[in-house]
Amino acid sequence: MYKGILQRVEMNNKIEKIVLGTAQFGLDYGINNESGKIPQEEVFTILNKAVELGIDTLDTAYSYGDSESVIGDFIGTYDKKLKIISKLPECKENEVNEIFNFSLNRLNVTKLYGYLVHNFENYKKNPQIWDVLEKLKIEKKVEKIGFSFYYPSELEFLFNNNIKLDIIQIPYNIFDRRFEPYFEEIKSREIELYIRSLFLQGLVFKSTDDLPSIFNPIKNKIKELQSLSRRSKVSVVSLCVNFVINNNLIDKVVIGIDSVEHFDEIIKSVSCSSLDENTVISLKNFKINEEKIIIPVNWNKYIKVKTS
């Protein structure tokens, strides 16, 4: 009886760590996405299911096509209370307020839970952008402000310049572990840590026979992952999700959804009991350091893929 209760508590805790990534709500996005942008009716089905399960946070961006508008239509239709995190695109200081307000209007909300700088290099050219975000926070138009990062050096730059961050989003998965050494300091600074790119935009699900030659360094790793899945009788989805979601230093995990079936599979994977010690040790050995492979925005230098 008590074991069953503990399992339900563990399941609920993991569900509460999920944030729905919504790029596919507004874009044809991801290397493994064969169905394109999700139809609005299907988006509404996914969101209603998510709310019923206790998932209350969505991750979107100004640059995700009409994702913000689709979310706004859902909120207007069903009057659901959701925490929304959006991202500021490349712009100048005097454009921030207009873009922010445009996002609010599209999302059909009066304030955001989080607002992230989406382009770090743009911030370095226009550091006054951060002043505007701090003013939006003071005005209570947004609760938490921060950055979406690609490289640890970006985080180090802000730490060294004493920028007070409330929330950050980083790529992290069984292959890409570049930010791992910073987790303890992120926690000590009381920054909310959000993880994205659990599946490397679906690369982990691709047949290695179908991958272009630039992915040669990771092909054997993908085969090993699939072999581990068969041996442990745990799906690749469950291995990838639970490796990240079971980490107590991680606050939230952003998972992109491309269909109702995919959403159901994610929820099923979360219900998987914690991975055993040997499986976790095996997964830690999948780490690779080649940034042209583990950072999807770099793929466009070599092949044409749907990334953002």
3-state percent helix, strand, coil for the chain, nearest multiple of 5: 55, 15, 35
CB contact at 8 A, 168 and 192: yes
Q: Which residue has the tokens 């209760």?
A: 5
Q: For residues 107, 115, 11 and 206, what is the CA-based torsion angle, rounded to 10 degrees?
A: 90
Look up residue 251 and give its two tokens.
Answer: 């606050």
The structure's pTM equals 0.91
Percent above pLDDT 70 for the chain? 91
Q: Given a cut of 70, is residue 187 above it in pLDDT?
A: yes
Mean pLDDT of 229-247: 94
Q: Given a cut of 60, is residue 7 above it in pLDDT?
A: no
CB contact at 8 A, 175 and 201: no
CA distance 83 to 61: 13
Between helix 260-270 and helix 2-16 the angle, nearest 10°, is 130
pLDDT tens profile 52-109: 999 999 999 999 999 999 999 999 999 998 999 999 999 999 999 999 999 999 999 9
Q: Which residue has the tokens 């207007």?
A: 76
Q: What CATH number should be reported for the domain whose range is 14-301? A: 3.20.20.100
- Which 3 state secondary structure label does DSSP give 186? helix
Domain spans of the chain, in order of start: 14-301
